[in-house]
């Protein structure tokens, strides 16, 4: 166990709480009280830190703690991307406090410490779609339609709040015990869609799933259409059961979209499914559909005889 982990295990973490003291409610800026947690285990790692499973000592509820390391001043010049985290902290946390939707992982609060930002979210016990695919392979098409509809519902909500996810893939879609999809957000993955996005912000996540404009360093601003490319990639993952185009990998979806082949030869799509994907993978973001438009796409209409009977 590292020193940082021991420190996390031992310390009491304070965070913003609702005036009622109920940790399940959205937090209001400026509301502070003591929130005691105990460390259980590490459940994930990312570019900027680790994700821990912790338990609320007061309520005995499990929570996910995303611990984002704050760089020291000595690292600012060597890693400007990490150095930008504290500057964007207040605005992004303020965005999180305003979110309340079934398809978005609920934000619980935050504690800003000298060396880290500790961001608390509701713990979603079912794991990610990526984990489901690794364990069980590609999904039933009717399940894919159900999941895609739920994700698009969440994206439509986020975009209505002027929030872009920016790194949407199957790792960032979690499933609860009822197999309801929930979009996972963190401080380095959201931005106001009308704001300027500097180059250091780009590059989170895998280039295999990124929208073309996120890989073009001449771009100074992004739109919500990067998430439409993202949902297309998530659907592709669920259809194929894999992230890579083939066993060799190394080629982006953009490369194949330009060649006119949206899925590998071993993935068979109906005309409606192919049309849905085309609306996600348009190279020009202005030609991609919105989340609202995709929610209404006829491909997502389930078969009349299909019943939700075991997604695994």
Nearest CA to 171 out of 99, 237, 97 is that of 237
Rounded distance between C-alpha atoms, residue 155 and residue 69, angstroms: 27
Contact 68, 87 (CB under 8 A): no
Chain centroid to Cα 55, Å, comes to 22
Residues in the annotated binding site: 66
- Strand partners for 33: 15
Residues in the annotated binding site for ATP: 66
DSSP-H helix ranges across 161-224: none
Query: Dihedral of CA 277/280/284/286: which sign?
Result: positive
Contact 231, 237 (CB under 8 A): no
The structure tokens listed for 31 are 């509301």
Grouping H, G, I as helix, E, B as strand and the rest as coil, residue 10 is helix
Query: Dihedral of CA 227/138/41/175: which sign?
Result: positive
Grouping H, G, I as helix, E, B as strand and the rest as coil, residue 47 is coil
Residue 181 to residues 27, 175, 205, 250, Cα–Cα distance (Å): 23, 5, 20, 28
């Amino acid at each position: 166990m590292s020193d940082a982990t021991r420190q996390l295990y031992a310390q009491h973490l304070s965070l913003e709480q609702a005036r009622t003291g109920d940790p399940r409610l959205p937090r209001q800026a400026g509301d502070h009280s003591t929130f005691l947690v105990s460390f259980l285990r590490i459940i994930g790692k990312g570019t900027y830190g680790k994700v821990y499973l912790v338990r609320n000592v007061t309520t005995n509820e499990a929570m996910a703690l995303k611990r984002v390391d704050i760089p020291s001043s000595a690292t600012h010049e060597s890693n400007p991307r990490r150095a930008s985290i504290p500057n964007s902290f207040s605005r992004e946390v303020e965005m999180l406090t305003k979110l309340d939707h079934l398809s978005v992982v609920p934000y619980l609060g935050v504690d800003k410490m000298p060396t880290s930002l500790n961001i608390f979210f509701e713990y979603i016990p079912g794991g990610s779609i990526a984990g489901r695919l690794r364990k069980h392979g590609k999904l039933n098409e009717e399940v894919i339609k159900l999941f895609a509809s739920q994700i698009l519902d969440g994206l439509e909500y986020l975009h209505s709040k002027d929030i872009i996810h920016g790194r949407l893939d199957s790792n960032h879609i979690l499933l609860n015990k009822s197999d309801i999809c929930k979009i996972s957000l963190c401080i380095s993955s959201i931005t106001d869609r009308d704001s300027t996005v500097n180059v250091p912000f780009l590059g989170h996540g895998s280039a295999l799933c990124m929208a073309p404009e996120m890989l073009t360093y001449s771009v100074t601003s992004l739109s919500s259409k990067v998430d439409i490319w993202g949902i297309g990639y998530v659907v592709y993952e669920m259809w194929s059961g894999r992230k890579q185009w083939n066993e060799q990998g190394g080629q982006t979806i953009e490369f194949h979209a330009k060649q006119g082949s949206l899925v590998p030869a071993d993935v068979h799509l109906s005309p409606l499914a192919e049309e849905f994907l085309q609306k996600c993978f348009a190279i020009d973001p202005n030609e991609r559909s919105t989340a609202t438009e995709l929610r209404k796409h006829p491909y997502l209409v389930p078969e009349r005889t299909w019943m939700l009977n075991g997604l695994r």
